[in-house]
Structure 1
Amino acid sequence: MRLDLDAKSFGTRPVLGPLTLSVARGERVAILGPSGIGKSTLLRILAGLDAEYRGRLDGADRLAVVFQEPVLLPWRDAVANIAIPTGCDAATARDWLAQVGLAGHEAKVPRQLSLGQQRRLALARAFAAGPDILLMDEPFASLDAETAARMLALTDALLARTGAGLVLVTHDPREAEALHARPLHLAGQPARLQND
């Protein structure tokens, strides 16, 4: 996947300036910067969710996104929350639930799960899609330190096992380090990428 961005604005307000970002399967990158700098905007462009920019996005990579909130189907059980969006069968969904430590929770709907469990379910759903590159938008926000550390270790292990690449948006350089992701900083007005 390669993005050659000329500019991204919201109305008359420039948010992102010229930048180039390429990520391949197996490569891990973390986009760091303060709140409001444009990290999530950049991720939405990479995900194909925002087409209102000047530039070019190339690549036929299979992508999966883990958002800041789990974004689950509230009326469906855990198995269906994986199977419906990804198209995988129930056995594959159960296998991914087991891999993220949710065996025994297959029949529960999201409101019956803790926030940490909901985030594990969202992570299982993303990996069940078989992505070449996983896009993560501050997925460990609002988790206590112990739960966040467990989620980071789990994500690192799943990335290693599947060989998927990673683009992580975070304000915390320790998350980038825990996931062995090359840090890139968004800075300036409009924001541009800088190597650490």
Structure 2
Amino acid sequence: MPEAPPAIELRGVTKRFETRDGGGHTATRDMSFTVRQGEFVSVVGPTGCGKSTSLSLISGLAAAGDGAVLVQGSPVTGIPDRLGYMFQQDAVLPWRTVLDNVAAGPRYQGASKQAARDQAKDWVARVGLAGFERYYPHQLSGGMRKRVALAQTLINEPSILLMDEPFGALDVQTREHMQDLLLDLWSGTSAAVVFVTHDLTEAIALADTVVVMTAAPATVKDVVPVELERPRRVEEIRLEEAFLEVYRRVWDSLREEVEITRSRGAGRVA
């Protein structure tokens, strides 16, 4: 039986954007990496290097200029089936209750109102918001809104899950709770995850593999395996020596790229 293709594959991808002055900006250059089905990959790199662009390419929201982007072995020509995307800013609709926000996905996919609400009620409970079904977003804390956004994303059972710094705006304790919740919910699926973050602790604690990007334009500098046992608890695993060894390797790879980005910024200020 032939081996199944990777869930996600980027092959030598270069992406350029036009700028307002008529010039061009190269966001990624000859970028290649793969994600297996059921694998959790974190992507780290210096600010502005093009990490989020990789998610746009995988999701079909942006097209590669050169190279190839494949999902489930097929070239990406639009938004792939069964793809979930969590952005930095949640997509919770302010005029809908928690329950109706979470039920929106199944409704769009053709489920009846009652079936969608039944499914949503289960997911609201799974993210720890039972009892808040009739609340509106303005009545929720930032962490609670993120729980709603997570339920909105996972209720559709995505086989590809893209996450762009989804917990970056939360305080440290709330962020760790959300990280543990994500791991708990993801562990019961076979979804392939690409998680972009600036937080190395978050990247390592969540992932099977950490992809380190260079300073812009982004290309892959290092691919670091995270061979830490699952299930994990973020607040516990970050104190283990094996975790610290991975952290040192990732930071050693990333440090030079951060300095390059800083020096470019200093040059522009000067």
Q: TM-score w.r.t. structure 1 length? A: 0.93
Query: In the alignment, which residue of structure 2 is the partner of 1:39?
Result: 51
Question: Is 1:72 matched up with 2:92?
Answer: yes
Distance 1:83 1:5 in 2: 39
Task: Map 1:169-184; keep pairs closer than 5 Å.
Answer: 169-184=196-211
Shift of 1:161: 1.4
Give percent identity, aligned residues only: 39
Report if aligned partners of 1:82, 1:125 keep a CA contact under 8 Å in 2: yes
Distance 1:47 1:86 in 2: 20
Report if aligned partners of 2:46, 2:215 keep a CA contact under 8 Å in 1: no
Shift of 1:5: 4.1
Structure 1 residues 47 and 143, CA gap change in structure 2 (3 angstroms): same
Shift of 1:134: 1.2
Query: In the alignment, which residue of structure 2 is the partner of 1:83?
Result: 103
Higher-Rg member (1/2): 2
Report if aligned partners of 1:110, 1:118 keep a CA contact under 8 Å in 2: yes
In structure 2, give the amino acid aligned to 1:145.
Answer: V
Shift of 1:189: 3.7
Question: Is 1:126 matched up with 2:153?
Answer: yes
Report if aligned partners of 2:92, 2:101 keep a CA contact under 8 Å in 1: yes
Query: In the alignment, which residue of structure 2 is the partner of 1:2?
Result: 9
Structure 1 residues 86 and 25, CA gap change in structure 2 (3 angstroms): farther
Matched position secondary structure for 1:103: coil
In structure 1, give the amino acid aligned to 2:186.
Answer: L
Q: Is the deviation greater in 54-63 or in 74-83?
A: 54-63
Distance 2:13 2:147 in 1: 36
Query: In the alignment, which residue of structure 1 is the partner of 2:184?
Result: 157
Among 20, 43, 68, the residue aligned to 1:56: 68
Shift of 1:3: 2.2
Shift of 1:108: 1.3
In structure 2, give the amino acid aligned to 1:68.
Answer: Q
Shift of 1:54: 2.8
Q: Per residue, is there more helix in 1 or in 2?
A: 2
Distance 1:54 1:171 in 2: 27
Query: In the alignment, which residue of structure 2 is the partner of 1:98?
Result: 125
1:146-170, Cα deviation, whole Å (9 max, x unpaired): 0000000000111101232210000
Report if aligned partners of 1:26, 1:164 keep a CA contact under 8 Å in 2: yes
Distance 1:86 1:56 in 2: 31
In structure 2, give the amino acid aligned to 1:147.
Answer: T
Structure 1 residues 144 and 188, CA gap change in structure 2 (3 angstroms): closer
Question: For the aligned residues, what is the CA RMSD?
Answer: 1.6
Shift of 1:19: 1.5
Report if aligned partners of 1:153, 1:178 keep a CA contact under 8 Å in 2: no
**Unaligned stretches of 5+ residues in structure 2:** 1-7, 19-23, 73-80, 225-270
In structure 1, give the amino acid aligned to 2:33.
Answer: L
In structure 1, give the amino acid aligned to 2:175.
Answer: A
Query: In the alignment, which residue of structure 1 is the partner of 2:252?
Result: none
1:58-114, Cα deviation, whole Å (9 max, x unpaired): 224621011101111111111111221343511111111100101111111211111
Question: How many equivalent residue pairs?
Answer: 196
Structure 1 residues 176 and 96, CA gap change in structure 2 (3 angstroms): same
Distance 2:166 2:12 in 1: 25
Runs of 4+ in 1 over 3 A off after TM superposition: none
In structure 1, give the amino acid aligned to 2:66.
Answer: R
